[in-house]
Structure 1
């Protein structure tokens, strides 16, 4: 074999090794030119970048990352050395904490005057941990600086109160003899739909080491107050799980202010129903709870019938009153724990935790008939309101929120096709 053939074999071997390394690497690797045009990327990089890919496709790295990290292109263009590290572990927030909190660490190395290598690593879990630690620091700072509004107590492995303190008696009004042997549910004002949170908070605390949540509580005198609760896992000398420590903080004044802000962020400004973003947040949490405890869950989608005719005939202010009337009636019909949200225009979606198909149909019929019996004044006229409703319940073929919404929307379309002012369950289509 000639020296040229040996050299070619060596080059081919090196290339195969490079390709193998890129495709098997647990981090995202992207090779581009200096303006970001992608020459090669591995499957992991494709996976990490897909949430940011637009209709133009995955052709230029800087264009793909522009919405989340517009500064990268400037970092590269301002780097004057012929080679070297341009940035290391530059954080790119792909989505907010509410949308999953995807965060990437980006390192860009300039190989020569023509080639950049970018390394992408998913550090979402690390950032989430940092966020929790910051919350813990805030908790500890509050405990040390505001000593009059917190209480400490202990729970055994089963979540039963086994130690009480004077501060706990001051905050709740209950003496030690009245609290020992009880659960935290003694102090929480929970609806029948929320009883599972007592189990959940202990499960989350065991999984994460601690868990924090706000609750509406009731003092022994009957006065309600808001409390922030942190539950931390206790371990004995052998590092075995032995129970929990609980810290209560009265946050009533802060809660009132934060609730006013929360309403601005989570409510539809016209109707008072939940907005679309808040609905998605609530629905994902309820689906996770349904999966954990094997509960049913259902979705109702409803649409105001002939709404365009209302706007065209009586004007948009009257149309607004129709939408507000639908929400007001729904809030009177729905159970505690159910949520109605404005999904867009005259379309609403209702989240029904712990509801199977039969229960959902019954709720939907009460909703439909109550709206049909109502009317909205428009000058000297009274406008009769009706809605079309589509229902879908959790099943093996509908196990995600997207599948539930698509199914409920399909059922709603069938309800409209059947003449409106009626209910269709997707299982009956």
Structure 2
């Protein structure tokens, strides 16, 4: 009859999940093939080594405290549960994992076994789905739904910490003519190009939204009237330069209107938008 230890090892190595066992000294006793594929260490590199080899430093204290508590009292926070944390690979890169722990008593003390799954792909897909819900599919700027979710919060924060907040509306000049004369595909390229100009020339703290067909909206926290005027001129200039360097065969320009809200002024989002829209209309008339 085939040796049971050999059968056991074959079963463990056939698992697609990472299976790792350690003793009370935190030394690695079991390391299956999936562990090597996931973490990058071969079995002979880790056996007898501390499990902290694959645990990010930010978890070290919690891990050690949890081990001590369980060995002394039998009480555990993680054992018997499935949690999402991060692991660290041989190359030092962090990645998301799903972890479940179990403990068993042996003559030499407790043996702790972890079943681990790399959930990087799942997290990527989740993030993609989240982005699809709040991003415009053409320009990948935030969409109106996202704007409606965050704008009141941004206004409340500006009011609480007493700083200016500005809103800027950007409209593509003669966009209907571009679509009618050159086609919607060319119009889409114009929108993508302008979105890229906005993203490159605004701060990371600014929020850019595709607000309508050819209309973008930017929320600029901590930007007063002077800052707003500077940003509008800068964006217009960058769009003009981008247009001149493109091969569209026609000029592309934008009009801008904005309003900087003083924290002492009591205006709501709709009122600020209305003021910004009035200024946009004046700019288009020039």
TM-score normalised according to structure 1 size: 0.39
1:320 aligns with 2:188: yes
Per-residue CA deviation, residues 166-200 of structure 1 (Å, 9 max, x unaligned), is 99x94444876xxxxxxxxxxxxxxxxxxxxxxxx
Q: Distance in 2 between matches of 1:277 and 1:352?
A: 18
Larger relative contact order (Cα-Cα within 8 Å, sequence gap ≥ 6): 2
Deviation, 1:295, is: 2.3
- RMSD across aligned positions (CA): 3.1
Aligned to 2:283: 415
Cross-structure match for 1:404: 272
Write the deviation string for residues 213-232 of structure 1: whole angstroms up to 9, x where unpaired. xxxxx99x9856679xxxxx
Shift of 1:311: 1.3
Query: 2:236 matched to 1:368?
Result: yes
- Inter-partner Cα distance in structure 2 for 1:285 and 1:252: 31
Which residue of 1 is the match for residue 128 of structure 2?
Answer: 260
Q: Hey, what does 1:384 align to over in structure 2?
A: 251
Asked if 1 retains the 8 angstrom alpha-carbon contact of 2:261 and 2:272, the reply is yes
Q: Can you list the C-alpha shifts for 1:217-269, whole angstroms capped at 9, x where unaligned?
A: x99x9856679xxxxxxxxxxxxxxxxxxxxxx98665422210012111111
| Preserved CA contact (<8 Å) 2:257 2:279 | yes
Give the distance between the partners of 1:323 and 1:271, measured in 2 at CA: 7
Q: 1:313 to 1:253 in 2, by over 3 A?
A: closer
Residue 272 of structure 1 corresponds to: 140
Determine whether 1:309 maps to 2:177: yes
* Alpha-carbon shift at residue 384 of structure 1 (Å): 1.9
Would the aligned equivalents of 2:225 and 2:259 in 1 still touch at CA under 8 Å? yes
Structure 2 Cα separation of the partners of residues 369 and 175 of structure 1: 52
- Give the distance between the partners of 1:224 and 1:316, measured in 2 at CA: 43
Retained in 2: the 8 A contact 1:340–1:350?
yes
List alignment gaps of at least 5 residues for structure 1: 1-147, 149-165, 177-217, 228-249, 420-429
Q: Give, in whole Å, the separation in 2 of the partners of 1:302 and 1:328.
A: 13
Instruction: Render the CA deviation track for 1:320-379: whole Å, top value 9, x for unaligned.
Output: 11111100111111111212111111111001112111112212211110001112434x
Residues paired across the two proteins, number: 187
Alpha-carbon distance in structure 1 between the residues aligned to 2:123 and 2:214: 32
Q: Structure 1 CA distance, aligned partners of 2:267 and 2:195?
A: 27
Give yes or no for contact 1:226–1:251 (8 Å, CA) kept in 2.
yes
SS at match of 1:377: coil
> How far apart are the structure 1 equivalents of 2:92 and 2:200?
25
TM-score of the superposition, structure 2-length normalised? 0.58
- Quick one: distance in 2 between partners of 1:223 and 1:293? 38
CA 1:416–1:294: 2 relative to 1, 3 Å: same
CA distance in 1, matches of 2:92, 2:253: 42
For the 8 Å contact 2:167–2:273, the answer to whether it is kept is yes
Q: CA deviation at 1:283?
A: 1.6
CA distance in 2, matches of 1:305, 1:170: 55
The 1-side partners of 2:268 and 2:137 are apart by 28
Cα separation, 2, equivalents of 1:253 and 1:337: 28
- 1:124-151 per-position Cα deviation (integer Å, ceiling 9, x unaligned): xxxxxxxxxxxxxxxxxxxxxxxx9xxx
CA shift in 2, pair 1:325/1:171, >3 Å: same
Shift of the 359–174 alpha-carbon distance from structure 1 to 2, 3 Å rule, reads: farther
- Please give the alpha-carbon distance, in whole angstroms, between the structure 1 residues aligned to 2:94 and 2:224: 33
State the secondary structure of the residue aligned to 1:273: coil
Residues 302 and 388 in structure 1, CA contact (< 8 A), matched pair in contact too: yes
Runs of 5+ in structure 2 lacking a partner?
Answer: 1-19, 21-50, 62-87, 98-117
Please give the alpha-carbon distance, in whole angstroms, between the structure 2 residues aligned to 1:225 and 1:399.
45
| C-alpha contact 1:374 1:384 (8 A) present in aligned 2 | no
